[in-house]
Amino acid sequence: MTDTKTNPQGAIAAFMTRSFDGAKIEPDQDIFEAGYGNSMFAMQLVAFVESHFGLDIEAEDLEIDNFRSINRVAALVARKQAMAAA
């Protein structure tokens, strides 16, 4: 799992592509505006971030902006990793 440190965007993009039937998602593309996000995917994304990056998504992370795009999710992961390391 070296990509968790070197390329989190790549791991998140691969997960979203798998989830959205092979669709190519741009790093800043709003997945909700594009119609990809649904209620089932919402918790799958939480489960992916927790499982893949070894993090706990918590109540204070529940902002839709944190999950809107590949780069936003990567930024959330980076913040959580920095907090865990501190």
Partner 1 sequence: MTVQTTPDHTRWDSLAQEVIAPLAAQIDQDARVPQQVIMALRQAGAFASGFPGGPATDQAEALSASLDHGQMHQALGAASASVQGVLNVHHMGGSALAKWSSKAQRSQWMPRVLSGEICCAIAMTEPEVGSDISAVQTQARPVSGGYELTGQKAWITCGDFADLFVLIAKTEAGPTAFLLPKQTKGLRIAPIEGLLGCRGYMMANLHLEAAYLPEDHLLGRPGFGASHVAVTGLEAGRLNLAWGCVGLADAACTLALRRAKTRQQFGKPIGDFQLVQQMLARMATDIHAARLMCQSAATARALRQMDAAKQATMAKYFASQMVGRVTRDAQQIFGAEGIGPNTPMALFHRDSRIMEVIEGTTQVLESMIARLSLSEVHLS
Between CA 32 and CA 54 the distance in angstroms is 25
Cβ closer to partner 1: 52 or 71? 52
Binder of partner 1 out of 5, 6, 35, 59 (CB under 8 A): 59
* Residue numbers 17-36 binding partner 1 by CB under 8 A: 18-19, 21-22
Where along the sequence are the contacts to partner 1 (CB under 8 A)?
18-19, 21-22, 39-40, 42-44, 46-48, 50-51, 56, 58-60, 62-64
